[in-house]
Amino acid sequence: MLMKHQYPLWEDLSPYASTLVVARGHPDADDDNPGTEDAPLLCIQAALDRVMPGQRIRVHTGVYREALAVRRGGEGPEAMISLEAAPGETVVVSGSRVLPGGWIRPRPWEEGFGPQGLTPSFSQRVWRLALDELGEVERRKVLAANVEAVEEALMPWMEPVSGRPPFTLRRGLLFQDGRRLQQLHHAGDLPKLPGSYVFEADGSALLVHPYGSGDPARHRFELAVRPQLLCPDSIGLGYVRLSGLVFEHCANAFLRAGAGAVSTLGGGHWIIEDCRFRGINSAGLEFGDHPFEHGDADPRNPGRGWASEGFVIARRNHFEDCGTAGIRCLGATEARVLDNLIEDCGWQEAEYYFECAGIKLLLTRHTLVAGNLIRHLRGACGIWLDWDNRGSRVTRNHIRDIESIQGGIFVEASHEPNLVDRNLIWNVDGPGIFGGDSSFQLYLHNLIGRVREEPMKLFCHTQRRVNERPVTCVGNRVEGNVFVDPPAHRVDEDDNVFAANVLVRTVCHGGLDVAAWQARGFDADLCECQGTVDLSEDGELRWDWDVDLAGYTSSARDPVDRDVRGRVWPADGSAVGPWPLPGRRGSLSTL
């Protein structure tokens, strides 16, 4: 069966016989140097201009305010190009500039302020800073709307929210001592919210209510001015490795493709590992097979007929404070998205343009999304496989404490099997798993608890066609799962299978009407428990209930032959959820 296939990893096997060294803190650093430890380069871009296949760039501690362009790719796993932080050192690639002084209070009686001029304020808390130091190109990028008219034309599905904030807000993010401020739509609201700002209507200045409501001259302010932090010069460069870098402060667009803060621009066989992404206006990382939207007028756009060879690995990265998504890709062939931490993302509250998630991958082909911890999202679902996904697997992920209309995991518009198994989904203001417009999917051995809406939501929410076939929602298998305090599932078609599931009630009223549910032919062998279940912030799961699952007759559901720790399921009948849960009382670490 397709799902029994393994998802192998390829690795960087390059010996790296030579290294280019970058160290902006070195007293003799210069871009004309040979790039050695004694005579390092000053800028990362100077090294990217020189590096050849089989060479490594090692960067020492510093803040590098550069927009990096990868000039060439490697030639294979044994001759890659690597850009990496020196071991144990902090290397920050920043898209912001430090703002100078010159703060004033914009009094209405001062010349130029008032109804026909610049925005005034009576509040002692509101300050103004002219943006005279921005060049014309920087100013245009900072002041661009999150979705410009030409970009909206490429995303017609967002038409219902056209012309509204946050889509009309500017892309330039503002930071006070490293902490992002909230951009507002109207200057009149500034006195009410410490840590907020607006741009003057003509873009000439910032109006700011600082955190602490004090004098901004006592703090460091940075304005994100770059639309991307790293992107190749040309389409399809492959065999590139990024390791241990911090990418921060990016003024990127909401566009679904072609706008990630870090982008492979259609390059295959990249490894992005142990990096950190923070303070990003929209999506942090983009490695899609399709580097641009169909119809994008960018002269580099090869059209939808071209696609990357895929095989990108994104592992052990940390995404935080990304406005719309941690990872977003248009096309993901043989991708491996592994062991990433994604938290505090989705703050743009832009979910109704339908491109927001911790991880959003479209058109996946044999892609593995595994072992990721996704938490504290708002306005963004946990993991979203969108449109015609085939043979992909979402497994061993922890998704908790999020607010999303799409819920914890969303599998959309797919008619070939994908496997969603052994995931923990907890405390979701929305559905647990949403299988929208999708048939023949496998939802096995998950634990879903404390969700406000349907734990399983399987129905057709549109009337689209996928590959000329009308969407359906039939033939799905929901087996071996544990549901804690579930509201009613939503399953519009009876031609779906629910079996060997466990229902745990920690409250004595409400929730799933088991009799009505079983009358539809679902969950005839449902195991019901009464008791308590709790998941701590540090991931400890505790249970105390009135049924010993070791006496339950459930067996592992094909093709999930091992628990989340890689152990063969016990033969005692407790093969439900991501781990065996034997006994009436117990605890285990889920992380």
What number is the average pLDDT over the span 47-64? 98
Share of the chain above pLDDT 90, in %: 87
C-alpha distances (whole Å) from 532 to each of 365, 373, 425, 548, 573 are 40, 24, 17, 14, 21
Is residue 69 within 8 Å of 231, Cβ to Cβ?
yes
Please report which helix (H) or strand (E) contains residue 49, including its range. Answer: helix 44-50
DSSP 169: S
Collapse the DSSP code of 379 into the 3-class scheme (helix H, G, I; strand E, B; otherwise coil) and give the result.
coil
Indicate whether 447 pLDDT > 90: yes
Is residue 16 within 8 Å of 55, Cβ to Cβ?
yes
- Specify the residue for token string 């339950």: 552
Dmax over CA atoms of the chain, in Å, equals 82
Pairwise CA distance, residues 534 & 450, whole Å: 10
From edge to edge, which strands make up the β-sheet containing 196-199? 127-130, 205-209, 196-199, 182-183
For residue 156, count CB atoms less than 10 angstroms from its CB and return exposed for 0-12, middle for 13-18, buried for 19 or more: exposed
Chain segment 453-482, per-residue pLDDT in tens? 999 999 999 999 999 999 999 999 999 999
Please report which helix (H) or strand (E) contains residue 140, including its range. Answer: helix 136-143
Pairwise CA distance, residues 214 & 194, whole Å: 9
CATH 1.20.1730 fits 101-153+163-223, yes or no: no
Q: Is the N-terminal amide bond of 431 cis, ω within 30° of 0?
A: no
30: alpha, beta or left? (left if phi > 0; alpha if psi -120 to 50): beta
Task: Identify the residue with better confidence: 181 or 570.
Answer: 181
Pairwise CA distance, residues 545 & 507, whole Å: 12
- Specify the residue for token string 């033939």: 475
Q: How many CA atoms lie within 13 A of 341 on its CB side?
A: 11
Q: Write the DSSP assignment of 266-323 as a string of letters.
A: T--SEEEES-EEEEESSEEEE--SS-S-TT---TT---TT-------EEES-EEEEES
- Residue 122: per-residue pLDDT: 87
Closest Cα partner for 335 from 367, 357, 309, 358? Answer: 367
For β-strands 68-70 and 262-263, DSSP reports them as unpaired
Chain segment 231-270, per-residue pLDDT in tens? 999 999 999 999 999 999 999 999 999 999 999 999 999 9
Indicate whether 220 pLDDT > 50: yes
What number is the average pLDDT over the span 390-415? 97
Indicate whether 24 pLDDT > 50: yes
- Residue 89: per-residue pLDDT: 98
The full set of domain ranges for the chain reads: 1-95+226-405, 101-153+163-223
What single letter denotes the amino acid at residue 249? H
In CATH terms, the superfamily for domain 1-95+226-405 is Single-stranded right-handed beta-helix, Pectin lyase-like (2.160.20.10)
Collapse the DSSP code of 50 into the 3-class scheme (helix H, G, I; strand E, B; otherwise coil) and give the result.
helix
Indicate whether 45 pLDDT > 80: yes
Q: Specify the range with the lowest mean pLDDT, choosing from 292-296, 331-335, 439-443.
A: 292-296
- Residue 6: per-residue pLDDT: 81
- Residue 4: per-residue pLDDT: 46
**Residues 22, 28, 33, 35: what is their CA dihedral angle, to the nearest 10 degrees?**
-30
Pairwise CA distance, residues 281 & 141, whole Å: 12
Both tokens of 577, joined, read 């959820």
Confirm whether 1-95+226-405 and 101-153+163-223 share one CATH topology.
Answer: no
What single letter denotes the amino acid at residue 65? R
Closest Cα partner for 237 from 53, 78, 480, 2? Answer: 53
Pairwise CA distance, residues 462 & 450, whole Å: 27
Indicate whether 320 pLDDT > 60: yes
Pairwise CA distance, residues 342 & 376, whole Å: 8
Chain segment 466-522, per-residue pLDDT in tens? 999 999 999 999 999 999 999 999 999 999 999 999 999 998 667 899 999 999 999
Q: Write the DSSP assignment of 412-433 as a string of letters.
A: ES--S--EEES-EEEEEES-SE
Summary mean pLDDT of the chain: 94
Indicate whether 573 pLDDT > 90: no
Is residue 370 within 8 Å of 396, Cβ to Cβ?
yes
- Residue 305: per-residue pLDDT: 86
Indicate whether 558 pLDDT > 90: no
- Specify the residue for token string 């006592």: 218
Chain segment 75-119, per-residue pLDDT in tens? 999 999 999 999 999 999 999 999 998 999 988 887 777 766 788
Prediction pTM value: 0.96
Indicate whether 3 pLDDT > 70: no
Pairwise CA distance, residues 383 & 406, whole Å: 9
